[in-house]
Amino acid sequence: MKVKALIIAEEIHSFKTRKGEEIRQVLLTALDKSELTEHRFKNTFDVALDTPVEEYKNSVVDKLVELALTDLSQIFGGRARFRGRLIDKVVKV
C-alpha cells in the first residue's frame, strides 16, 4: 500500500530478541496526507523502516514523503504500527 505522509518524528528504536540479540530500527511517526480527504487516517501512525539504521542517513522530519507499507500490527493502546520503506521525498513543508 502506498501512502503520502508528513513525518512528524523519527527515532532509533531498539529491543532485544528472545535469544538476546539487539535489534535497532528507524521508527517514524507519520500523519496521513493522502489526496482522498474522506479516507485519511484520523490518528498518527508509526512506521518501522526496513532500511538498516546504518544505511539511514537523511532526516525526513517535517517532510512529505511517499511510503510503501507492507505489514500492519497493533501495539500498546491499539496504536497502529506498519513496516515498510521510504519510496520518495515529495516536498519540504
Domain boundaries, the chain: 2-92
Give the C-alpha separation, 53 to 30, whole Å: 18
What nine digits make up the cell of 84? 515498510
The pLDDT value recorded for residue 9 is 94
Per-residue pLDDT at 51: 83
Higher pLDDT, residue 19 or 91:
19
Instruction: Determine how many CB atoms are found less than 10 A away from the CB of residue 3.
Output: 20
In the CATH hierarchy, which fold is given to the domain comprising 2-92?
OB fold (Dihydrolipoamide Acetyltransferase, E2P) (2.40.50)
Residue 47 in grid coordinates: 512506521
Q: What are the pLDDT digits (tens) for 12-51?
A: 988 898 999 998 889 999 998 877 767 788 888 999 998 8
In this structure, which amino acid lies at residue 92? K
| C-beta pairs of 70-75 under 8 Å, 24+ apart in sequence | 75/46
First vs last Cα of the chain: how many Å apart?
23
The overall average pLDDT reported for the chain is 86
